[in-house]
């Protein structure tokens, strides 16, 4: 089955808006043993969308679109596709009722312009939208194209995902091939080229699997895909000794999931004290459901006054040692651990730019981990812009804790 | 000039890897007064890439590609394009020398397979790669396609960007149109459809500009593009009275830039106390360079123990009123304001899920803003998953502060 995706929206061509929908859809397709052979993004232009749609009709069996179902002037996916396929649009009574109910629940009345969202091409089925007002469309065997399936979904990620899970995936399941399973191993603290070399021999031994190495700023993912769960499990067992403690997690999770899981298993707790990372450590941890079982909280002690007020550090002493210094990071971690009564506390002090700060150059970072057996410090020098330095500092701090927790 | 982008790599179709290259290129084109009319992603498949390339040759004047220039078996962009255009490949001596020098600087010798990277189609020009080993290609007027320009660049973002800035953009500048300018207005606290209706008349009055409405979870952006800065300025003046205090910011920044700017102008400071949002407020604020001039820091008081230790709240009283409650949010804000000596303090208490918490349902949120004239509270009920509730709570808290600061 040839499958393609058309993401619709000028913002995908001209702004910083990333097309995350099609990435999510690609993963869901893999779970069904299916894959895109192409993804296209076009603007809110009848000419460009019409051309992309006509081409897709010629070569693909399943066409997934996202976007252009809203109420505004630049939303015309359904209208244009119906016109190209010479189909009329009719109002779907259930979709109109859904829309009225959606607004009524919010004590509002839909603007007149919204009612165009309830129009559906004749011969197609509406896909209800339980979390928004734009219904989607499932159009099987459209006029002149037997065997083709067109699925139009909203561009709002939550609406698209809910519609896919509840209504599109169940319809596709009968068409699907053998599901493809994925083994995902997250490695921290190792450059991609090193990992490539170190794992080549084991990857070749498991050469019947599809291998991908994906590096980003803070971690490297090793992905293997194949139809046989047992083959993936055997690959995992061969990789574990090769990766050793550089293997941060296996499966869907990341560093923070691994840490919270290990803390919970050990009945231990964590606090943080953040200066330069400004809340990033805390927000990565609290993004995980159930984080409060092990993460207690912490101080975003961004200024000297905050380091004094929240952590009890002495401003005169801080002025002497400097707020971007190893003693400061150590004192922050130890104060957070003691004040919150945590087993472990992580602290980050550093300068992410834009300018030098109290004598510390941009990229100077001090990471401290206070724990039952004392306090460890790392002092990496980091390149990159402000966001990169903040992200990489938070990741290195979490990785320091992960290595200290071991696999126990 | 019709411009399209082809991003090459199976990882773009089957993994979580986002095509950030084309987003960056879209912004650079805008600066030249140019824009993509389409973006495509295809896998490392000769058939799919060949089809995409043949289509692009028919409809576009400028074809930008990223990826497929590496040394491995699944890198064949140059070979395939040369084959389709019936051109031979020849080794470029300078590219071979660059590659040898690159490896020599690292005390290594290039593997034999790497030398294919120095091959260039006859009639094309190599684009040197100062930060990697894969040269790019600038191919103007390829055989049978006069007026067409093909630019092949590496997929590694840093190599692509360096090549674009140093060699591609300078070549394109002479072809470029009049630079296009953008007016960006960020609106908070208003649903997209409401904004569409409210601004229709003004948008129509400025109908010679290109308008886009871009909604996400926490804000709506109104974007206008046009070649005349004066026309954009006149649109802005007409929009301001229509949007009133819902207009959060104009220009590149977001809510947090607007808030920090206003606080600095007033000589005031801000602290935060976060429970459910878990550091998100603080990390949004500290992502802005120079935040420390107005943002002091705050407490991520995720657990009751942390609310006691960092903010001095009485655990017995907290147990009585509940940690997801209006009195708790008010007490958190007032304690943070007082402890950090800030002009303003924002607090968020709530339940982002997954389960009910101390009697509070998922989606219960209490936002408190303590300031010189007392403490205000908002108690929105929020739908959505954990991440959405956290993001929207942080945005509503920032918006409450922004409205209290006014435009002064």
Handedness of CA B191, A101, A158, A387 (dihedral sign): positive
More confident call, B110 vs A262:
A262
* Long-range pairs of B373-380 with CB within 8 A, sequence gap ≥ 24: B375/B330, B375/B333, B375/B334, B376/B400, B376/B404, B377/B326, B377/B329, B377/B330, B379/B326
CATH 3.30.70.2860 in chain A: give the residue spans. Answer: 181-250
Handedness of CA A199, A204, A205, A207 (dihedral sign): positive
Output the pLDDT for position A11.
84
Helix %, strand %, coil % of chain A (to 5): 45, 25, 35
- The CA distances from residue A247 to A186, A242, B225, in Å, are 6, 9, 48
> Exposed, middle or buried, A50 (CB in 10 Å: 0-12/13-18/19+)?
middle
Helix %, strand %, coil % of chain B (to 5): 45, 25, 35
Write out the CATH class of domain B3-173. Answer: alpha beta
pLDDT in tens, A226-271: 989 999 999 999 999 999 999 999 998 889 999 999 999 999 999 9
Q: Find the residue in B nearest to A42 (Cα).
A: B38
User: Cα(B241)–Cα(B225) distance, rounded to whole angstroms?
Assistant: 20
Chosen for mutation from A282, A308, A336, A353 (greatest number of chain B CBs closer than 10 Å) is A282
Name which of B16, B194, B300 is nearest A23 (Cβ-Cβ): B16
Fold held by B181-250: Alpha-Beta Plaits (3.30.70)
The kind and range of the H/E element at B66 are strand B62-66
CATH 3.90.950.20 in chain B: give the residue spans. Answer: 255-405
Contact A40, B51 (CB under 8 A): no
Question: What pairing do the DSSP bridges indicate for beta strands A149-153 and A62-66?
Answer: parallel
With CB atoms and an 8 Å threshold, state whether A354 touches B306: no
Write out the CATH class of domain A3-175. Answer: alpha beta
Angle CA B79–B81–B85, to nearest 5 = 115
With CB atoms and an 8 Å threshold, state whether B303 touches A282: no
Q: Find the residue in B nearest to A338 (Cα).
A: B309
Contact A127, A140 (CB under 8 A): no
With CB atoms and an 8 Å threshold, state whether A306 touches B289: no
Output the pLDDT for position A407.
67
Residue B113 has pLDDT above 90, yes or no: no
pLDDT in tens, A188-235: 988 777 788 889 899 999 999 988 877 777 888 898 989 899 999 999
User: Cα(B118)–Cα(B136) distance, rounded to whole angstroms?
Assistant: 9
| Confidence band of B114 (pLDDT split at 50, 70, 90) | confident
pLDDT in tens, B238-289: 999 999 999 999 998 889 999 999 999 999 999 999 999 999 999 999 999 9
φ/ψ (deg, to 5) at B42: -130, 160
Measure in Å the smallest separation between the Cα of A151 and chain B Cα atoms.
Answer: 18
Q: How far is CA B282 from the centre of its chain?
A: 19
With CB atoms and an 8 Å threshold, state whether B38 touches A36: no
Q: B113: how many CB neighbours lie within 10 A of its CB?
A: 12
pLDDT in tens, A11-42: 899 877 889 999 999 989 988 888 899 999 99
Q: What is the CATH number of domain B255-405?
A: 3.90.950.20
pLDDT in tens, B156-181: 898 999 999 999 999 998 777 777 88
ipTM of the complex: 0.81
Q: How far is CA A269 from the centre of its chain?
A: 26
CB contacts of A59 in chain B (<8 Å) are: 51
Q: Tell me the pLDDT of chain A averaged across its residues.
A: 92
CATH 3.40.980.10 in chain A: give the residue spans. Answer: 3-175
Measure in Å the smallest separation between the Cα of A87 and chain B Cα atoms.
Answer: 26
With CB atoms and an 8 Å threshold, state whether B303 touches A292: yes
Residue A408 has pLDDT above 70, yes or no: no
User: Cα(B226)–Cα(B82) distance, rounded to whole angstroms?
Assistant: 38
Spatial CA neighbour of A257 closest among A308, A219, A200, A229: A219
With CB atoms and an 8 Å threshold, state whether B214 touches A17: yes
Torsion angle, alpha carbons of A266, A271, A276, A279, to 10? 100
- The CA distances from residue B301 to A295, B292, B298, B329, in Å, are 10, 21, 9, 11
CATH 3.90.950.20 in chain A: give the residue spans. Answer: 260-405
Measure in Å the smallest separation between the Cα of A94 and chain B Cα atoms.
Answer: 21
Contact A30, A180 (CB under 8 A): yes
Measure in Å the smallest separation between the Cα of A330 and chain B Cα atoms.
Answer: 18
CATH number 3.40.50.11540 is the correct assignment for the domain at A260-405:
no
DSSP state of B407: T
Residue B33 has pLDDT above 60, yes or no: yes
Contact B15, A26 (CB under 8 A): yes
For A79, the token pair is 């209208």
Q: Find the residue in B nearest to A272 (Cα).
A: B300
pLDDT in tens, B351-367: 998 888 878 999 999 99
Rounded percentage of chain A residues whose pLDDT exceeds 70:
100
Give the mean pLDDT of A116-129: 95
């Amino acid at each position: 089955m040839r499958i393609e995706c058309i993401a619709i929206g000028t913002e995908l061509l001209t702004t910083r808006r990333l097309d995350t929908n099609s990435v999510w859809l690609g993963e869901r397709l893999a779970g069904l043993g299916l894959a895109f052979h192409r993804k296209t993004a076009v603007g809110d232009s009848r000419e460009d969308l019409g051309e992309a749609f006509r081409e897709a009709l010629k070569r693909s069996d399943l066409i997934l679109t996202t976007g252009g179902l809203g109420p505004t002037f630049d939303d015309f996916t359904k209208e244009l596709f119906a016109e190209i396929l010479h189909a009329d649009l009719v109002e779907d009574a259930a979709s109109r009722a859904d829309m009225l109910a959606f607004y009524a629940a919010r004590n509002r009345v839909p603007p007149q312009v919204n009612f165009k969202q309830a129009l559906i091409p004749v011969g197609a089925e509406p896909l209800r939208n339980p979390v928004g007002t734009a219904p989607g469309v499932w159009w099987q065997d459209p006029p002149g194209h037997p065997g083709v399936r067109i699925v139009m979904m909203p561009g709002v990620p939550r609406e698209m995902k809910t519609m896919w899970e509840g209504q599109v995936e169940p319809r596709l399941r009968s068409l699907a091939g053998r599901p493809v399973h994925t083994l995902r191993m997250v490695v921290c603290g190792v450059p991609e080229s090193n990992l490539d070399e170190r794992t080549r021999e084991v990857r070749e031994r498991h050469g019947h699997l599809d291998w991908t190495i994906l590096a980003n700023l803070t971690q490297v993912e090793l992905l293997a895909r194949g139809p046989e769960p047992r083959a993936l499990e055997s690959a995992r067992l061969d990789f574990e000794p090769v990766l050793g403690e550089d293997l941060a997690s296996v499966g869907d999770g990341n560093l923070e999931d691994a840490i919270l899981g290990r803390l919970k298993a050990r009945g231990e707790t964590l606090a943080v004290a953040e200066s330069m990372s400004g809340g990033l450590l805390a927000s990565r941890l609290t993004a995980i459901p159930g984080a409060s079982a092990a993460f207690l909280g912490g101080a975003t002690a961004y200024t000297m006054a905050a380091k004094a007020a929240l952590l009890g550090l002495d401003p005169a002493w801080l002025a002497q040692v400097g707020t971007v210094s190893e003693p400061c990071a150590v004192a922050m971690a130890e104060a957070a651990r003691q004040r919150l009564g945590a087993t472990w506390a992580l602290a980050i002090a550093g300068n992410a730019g834009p300018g030098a700060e109290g004598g510390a150059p941009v990229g100077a970072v001090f990471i401290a981990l206070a724990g039952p057996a004392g306090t460890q410090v790392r002092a990496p020098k980091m390149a990159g812009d402000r966001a990169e330095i903040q992200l990489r500092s938070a990741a290195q701090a979490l990785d320091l804790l992960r290595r200290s927790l071991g696999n126990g």
